[in-house]
Amino acid sequence: MKSAVFDIHGIRVRMEYRRIKNINLYVRPEQGEALVTVPFRTPRERVERFLYEKEGWMRRHLERTSGNREYPPVDREQIEKMRNKVLEYAGKWEKIMGVHATGWTLRDMKTRWGSCTVSTGRIRLNTRLIFCPEECLEYVIVHELCHLIEPSHNQQFKSCMTKFMPDWKERKRKLNGSHMDS
């Protein structure tokens, strides 16, 4: 695997070439850097241009995550309470949306509130959602279920979110404004 490191106005960005179709960007707060994965044969100039366009996004996410990584421990009782709430919301929204997740996993995640593996229908939720308003948990559940309809974050996905949860942008702002990384 071929790699390089960029400095984008003080932001360290590690680049890795991979067998993928699109350029992907990730914030890695543990390392204090960003990671950009790039399809083979992508010109370096295109990667640099992409990174400079995303500088503001990287800076916001790195600043939001720095210093906010200490959370109270989550106990079994809290996890069980969250699991029950997830299953309650999942049952409600799967019926409304006409989709079904094959499984729900709760785990501590460093950089995401949730994720969905579309091919298997499995959804993972960050246990730190315990510390957020309940409407934010519901938002993340609907967000991940929408990925079973539209895998990417394109306009169709946003339309799906608006159809099922008209106030999703407000909930997203509330979630990102909480004392967690997003």
Each residue's pLDDT tens digit, 34-88: 899 999 999 999 999 999 899 888 877 776 654 444 567 788 999 999 999 999 9
The set of residues, in sequence order, having a beta carbon less than 8 Å from that of 105 and lying 6+ positions away, is 122, 123, 124, 125
pLDDT value of residue 181: 38
- Give the pair of three-digit tokens for residue 132: 């957020």
11 pLDDT more than 90: no
96 pLDDT more than 90: yes
Each residue's pLDDT tens digit, 110-151: 778 999 999 999 999 999 899 888 999 999 999 999 999 999
Each residue's pLDDT tens digit, 106-116: 998 877 899 99
DSSP assignment of 121-178, as one string? Answer: TEEEEEGGGGGS-HHHHHHHHHHHHHHTT-SSSSHHHHHHHHHH-TTHHHHHHHHHHS
